[in-house]
Structure 1
Amino acid sequence: MASIGDGNRTAKRGWLGFVLALVLGIGVAVLHISAHPNLESFEQGVTLDWRFRLRGSQPPPNDIAIIVIDDRSLAKLGQWPFPRSVLADVINRLNDAGAKTIGLDIILSEHEPDASGAGDRALADALARHGRTVLAMAMLFNDGSPAGSPVKDVDKISLAAFKDTRSITADGMLRPLAEFEAVTAVGHTNQQSDDSGQTRAQYPVIGYGEWFIPSFSLMVAALQQDLSRGSIGVSRDGRLVLGPHKIEMDHAYGLALNYLGPAGTFRTYSVLDLLEDRIPHPLLKDRAILVGATATSLGDIFTTPYALNLPGVEVLATGVANLLHGDSIIRTVEQRFYESLAIVLLAVAAWFLGAKSPGPRWGLLFNMLLLISWFAMCQALFVLEYRWVAVAGPSSAIVIGAVLGAIGRMVYERRLRSEVERQRGNLARYVPPTMVETLAERARPAFDEREQMAAVLFVDLQGFTHASESRSPADTAHFLKEFHGQLEEVVTAHRGIVAQFLGDGALALWGLPQPQQDDPAAALACARDMLLRLARWQPNIPARVGLHFGPVAMAQLGGRHQAQLAAAGDTVNVASRLEAAAKSIGAILVISDDMVSAVRDLGHDDLIRGLTLRVDQPVRGRDKPITFWSCANCDDLA
């Protein structure tokens, strides 16, 4: 029986597992909310790529096209950079085709070598004539002084914004020539790669002093929607303002890029085909057209979830598409807080499933379902709502909680097994060892109130009452313990059970937990061995045995809280009367004729040796005489 202290210790250990899961869950949440590099690397470099690949490529929007300066164009035109007059021709042809917005992904920070400046003027005129063009610029980091236009002109290209320390901050700029800036919009084309080398986010704004400089993609998207520079910016709550829309950004004012597919996903045409009038105007009309280099020796190449070599102009086009159609991948600062809370709850839930499930396999199954459910929810939100919900932190929390729960479960089950073994050991001290499993496994044993044939043996010591008068109580108790030990060994050796110890006697049964065909022979063999053994142990205190075989009802008798094994029926009474009859006739063994018949039917006539038949003998307490067999001394049994 477990003590109250055992229960308290078990409860404390259970709380210890919960507390560990809670503390470690909080630890993972802190790492998550602080964007720990290792956790973020796994989140971005593994889980985000899985989501894109599971979703698959998406159709490109119809309102964006790309004009590329490819290898074929370079081979035909023969030089790079192209003369400004060629670029002017490109702008004019796009204007004639009806392109609504033009983004030129070329930084024009220096004058053309031609001293006359005719090419620069031609390009400036073309840009002014179209009136909706965006030129590329670059933000410089770790640079001592700004490059390009003077600092005093920054307000002409910056956005309205509230001062904030969240954005990436540059300390220099590489801007287009002033004459180009005067007739166009400008935007930075900076892209930032993570530790895995992939470009995952665009930065609609980058800080420079007290200003926010817009990105190239943001300006193209704004002009395509007929928005002026004054209608875009950053709101007080840190959202990107794009006309009537407010777009949530992450902790560094970034927007995760929602890549649509590998290289060539957007409608792409060669600049040579444009210059040679091989592109039908309807394919360019009213679209945002980005012009950039993809030739082998030109342009920049980026790694994305769909491609190892996506040209920079396609990355910019992806940014434009995301802003135009509101399908940027959303991951906000506030979201990180709720994810951190979910991490703690998932750690505790995983511990609970591991520790409290019906078994270790169920705990593993439930936690696998929890993990898969979280993955499925994240993927569904990614595909349907463009919401990037963390996987790395929550999955780590689930694994940690599941491991703690499994360990706790194993410790609990080991402790429970030890407790069960201890209790069964205690039970075995009070009931026959062969009955321990039967009684431990069921509240009501299968044999309870079962009618069957059984062998019943009563044994008693002759003259023990008189002999104990000269013994102390301690000596008497010691003697009885030895006597009971002798009985238990011999009965158990013959597959019987000692149902009750009756002071200087005992009741033994054959037929539990299941009756066996040779129970009568086993019982008689036991009786013979028992008498010989007891005679050797205590020659001066002989024993008497009564043995009968017949129908009984096996039962677990007693009250609600205390019970004992018993065999009910007249067979028990007959066995008891036969043991008493042994005293009156001076015998040490008396067995019923029914027992002898059953033994002979089994072919064990040798067990009858030394026994004498007594027909129709009167027995005290019985109305009718009984035929039995008896033996007067141990020599006849040897």
Structure 2
Amino acid sequence: MPDKRFSITAALLLSALWGGFLGSLHLTGSAGFLDRMEASLTDFRSVLIGRKMPPQMVAIVAIDDRTAASHGYPVDRATLARAVTTVAALRPKTIALDLLFIDPSTEQGDSALVSALRLVPSVIAAAAVFPQSTQTVASDPNDPLAGIPFADSLLLPLKRFSDVAATGVVNVATDETGVPRFMPLISRSDGRVDPSFALRTASLALDRDPAFQPGSISFADRHIPTDTGQRLPLTFYGPRGTIPTFSLADALDGKVPPDAIENRVVIFGSTVTAGGDVFPTPFDPVLPGVEVISTAIAHLIAGDSIVRDHNIRRLDATVAVLLPLALVGLIAWRRSIVGFALIVLVLVTWATVNLAMFRAGYWLSASLPIAAALPPVLAFGAAQLLLGRRQARLFAAQSELLQRVEAPGLGEWLARDPSFLAVPVRQNAAVVFIDLSGFTGLSEAVGAVTVREILSGFFEIVDEEARAHGGAITSFMGDGAMILFGLPHPADDDASRAAACALALADRMRTWLNSHADLQGERRIGFKIGAHCGPVVASRLGTGDRQQITATGDTVNVASRLMEVAASRGAEVAFSAALVRVASSDGGPLPAGPLEGPLETHIRGRSGSIGVWLWRPAT
């Protein structure tokens, strides 16, 4: 028991340390090896929850395939200026162009676009250039910009455009699967810090400058939590077109409904099939980049982004410690149906809460608790299995020691006749089987010393009653025994002695189990007895220096199955009608007490039925 307590304590301590280690990495955003698993689980939760209605404050004017067919691609700036002018006439809050104007075009086209951008508060795009596709950032609580990747350079619009329109960086942050999970709200490069395209657009639409705090931004009284590095978590409303989208060709022709534009943020961007500006999302494998940007703008304006800030990460880290502790503790508590049911209940409860929080707008990690719980649970479970096998081998060794006791009365006979049963003999005999009920479950819950004590007491009773009634214990199987009446030669009173032995065993076992309830704890054990008579084949099995005298045949099988009949009918002993009939005909004592029968019942493994008498104690 001390060894068991030590192993459980060590398992719980190591589980807590492992969960705490992963939680600390998660708090600093350094557990990147879990990103792929988290991406898949996040997609699954998004699809499970389904599409959402986007806020009615953002619309997209798309340079789509129809526009490219009518006006060419890329659309010249004079045509773009006409579209902006047409949309501006419908009185939007802000116009944002998810397009780069880093090279001059024709003077007429550039001048027309500058004039169009002056008509309404406008934002145009810039892009950050990073040295690698994957960026790593440092974590420094004293540097508010430490979590923001550093760009080598910026692709900025021409000055004539940036003089009349605000500028924002359009880069998004994708995970290992290519899904844009975050929108960086700040980009930095040598000597400058720039807001993102989405943040600049939302700021113009709300007519508020953003204020940054650790883990959040604010627009006056509107507070929006952010993740590490001032990133805005993205959750998509649905597939392409979920955010209202209109063709730029329709805008040029005046076919866009005014109420779809008035007082809204309008984003111009490319959705041309061959344009390449697409991203995989849970709802659409090719969501246009302009719709990703529009989703971030809608989150900032409506404040409906999912929350994944430092407080959520702290909660994730706490779950990463508590969940493996709970599961390992339940495995250590009991390996039974109740224990496994509680483990399943804990897992289902965690998954349900995780999904409910995601639906409510809080992004709790799913991969972190799994990664924290799985290795400790598997390791501890495997250790418990190995320990169980070790205990099973110990029980088997104890059983083997008990089986070395030779069947009473046969040792002397074997000394006189070493060839006894060297050749199998068919003869009549009576067979009694006894078995402890619930012993297997008890042996898993108590120590080896208690198991040995119970087995020793059980064997002592069986041995005494078998000797007292002239029977031979031909098999002792740990928590069960087989007693044969008819060796070394059959006798006329074998059946009556078997019946008397069965009843004596019942009385002795009932009294002994009741007086030793302290050894059994909460898991009480019982017993069942079956008795039958008829022809058997007696023989010696085994080779070399280890042989076993035993009996086989249908009579033995029926006697064994009668224990099941007794257990299923709530009786202590089940006698076959054949044994009762033979016992009464040979003049021996009949079983005393309240016998019930004969009852016709089916025996497992036999096609027909047999008559059975059941015996229960008088009280």
For this structure pair, what is the TM-score category when the shorter chain's length is used for normalisation?
Answer: 0.5 to 0.7
Matches of 1:277 and 1:439, distance apart in 2 = 86
Which of 123, 136, 156 is equivalent to 1:134?
Answer: 123
Matched, 1:232 2:204: no
Which of 198, 223, 227 is equivalent to 2:179?
Answer: 198
1:180 positional shift? 1.4
Which of 182, 190, 200 is equivalent to 1:219?
Answer: 200
Within-5 A mapping of 1:309-328:
309-328=286-305
The 3-state SS of whatever aligns with 2:273 is: coil
1:600 positional shift? 9.2
Which of 323, 327, 348 is equivalent to 1:350?
Answer: 327
Q: Give the residue type in structure 2 aligned to 1:398.
A: A
Kindly indicate whether the alpha-carbon contact (under 8 Å) linking 1:424 and 1:440 is maintained by their aligned counterparts in 2. no
Matches of 1:524 and 1:395, distance apart in 2 = 64
The 3-state SS of whatever aligns with 1:129 is: coil
Computing the radius of gyration from Cα coordinates, the structure with the larger value is: 1
1:494 positional shift? 4.1
Kindly indicate whether the alpha-carbon contact (under 8 Å) linking 1:32 and 1:39 is maintained by their aligned counterparts in 2. no
* Cα offsets for 1:532-558 (capped at 9, x unmatched): xxxxxxxxxxxxxxx9xx999955599
Matches of 2:504 and 2:251, distance apart in 1 = 110
Kindly indicate whether the alpha-carbon contact (under 8 Å) linking 2:81 and 2:116 is maintained by their aligned counterparts in 1. yes
Which of 76, 90, 94 is equivalent to 1:101?
Answer: 94
Note the aligned Cα RMSD (angstroms). Answer: 4.2
The 3-state SS of whatever aligns with 2:343 is: helix
* Aligned CA distance change for structure 1 residues 522 and 166 (closer, same or farther; 3 Å): same
Within-5 A mapping of 1:163-562:
163-227=144-208, 231-235=209-213, 237-298=214-275, 300-359=277-336, 361-384=337-360, 386-411=361-386, 413-414=388-389, 417=392, 437=435, 491=467, 494-495=470-471, 521-522=493-494, 554=507, 556=511
Kindly indicate whether the alpha-carbon contact (under 8 Å) linking 2:472 and 2:484 is maintained by their aligned counterparts in 1. no
Counterpart in 1 of 2:32? 37
Q: Give the residue type in structure 2 aligned to 1:15.
A: T
Kindly indicate whether the alpha-carbon contact (under 8 Å) linking 1:109 and 1:177 is maintained by their aligned counterparts in 2. yes
The two structures have a TM-score, normalised by structure 1, of 0.63
* Aligned CA distance change for structure 1 residues 303 and 551 (closer, same or farther; 3 Å): closer
Query: Percent of aligned positions with the same letter in both sequences?
Result: 27
* Cα offsets for 1:25-48 (capped at 9, x unmatched): 34443554453332122112x111
Q: Give the residue type in structure 2 aligned to 1:220.
A: T
Matches of 2:497 and 2:87, distance apart in 1 = 114
Kindly indicate whether the alpha-carbon contact (under 8 Å) linking 1:331 and 1:389 is maintained by their aligned counterparts in 2. yes
Kindly indicate whether the alpha-carbon contact (under 8 Å) linking 2:96 and 2:201 is maintained by their aligned counterparts in 1. yes
* Cα offsets for 1:278-320 (capped at 9, x unmatched): 1232221111111111122335111111111111111111111
Kindly indicate whether the alpha-carbon contact (under 8 Å) linking 1:352 and 1:405 is maintained by their aligned counterparts in 2. no
For structure 2, the residue ranges without an aligned partner over 5 or more in a row are 133-141, 409-431, 441-459, 474-481, 518-580, 589-619
* Aligned CA distance change for structure 1 residues 20 and 276 (closer, same or farther; 3 Å): same
- How many residues are aligned here? 456
Matches of 1:289 and 1:84, distance apart in 2 = 18
1:163 positional shift? 4.8
* Aligned CA distance change for structure 1 residues 225 and 415 (closer, same or farther; 3 Å): same
Counterpart in 2 of 1:10? 4
Q: Give the residue type in structure 1 aligned to 2:32.
A: P
Matches of 1:99 and 1:339, distance apart in 2 = 41
* Aligned CA distance change for structure 1 residues 97 and 342 (closer, same or farther; 3 Å): same
Matches of 2:301 and 2:218, distance apart in 1 = 13
Matches of 2:585 and 2:378, distance apart in 1 = 60
Matched, 1:84 2:65: no
For structure 1, the residue ranges without an aligned partner over 5 or more in a row are 1-6, 144-160, 443-483, 498-511, 527-546, 563-597, 606-638
Q: Give the residue type in structure 2 aligned to 1:50.
A: F
Matches of 1:182 and 1:600, distance apart in 2 = 115
1:376 positional shift? 1.4
* Cα offsets for 1:581-602 (capped at 9, x unmatched): xxxxxxxxxxxxxxxxx99952
The 3-state SS of whatever aligns with 1:291 is: strand
* Aligned CA distance change for structure 1 residues 407 and 83 (closer, same or farther; 3 Å): closer
Counterpart in 2 of 1:147? none
- Greater shift, 415-424 or 340-349, is seen at 415-424
Matches of 1:554 and 1:312, distance apart in 2 = 84
Matches of 2:44 and 2:349, distance apart in 1 = 16
Matches of 2:101 and 2:127, distance apart in 1 = 11
* Cα offsets for 1:166-211 (capped at 9, x unmatched): 1122121111111211111111111232221222111111122353
The two structures have a TM-score, normalised by structure 2, of 0.64
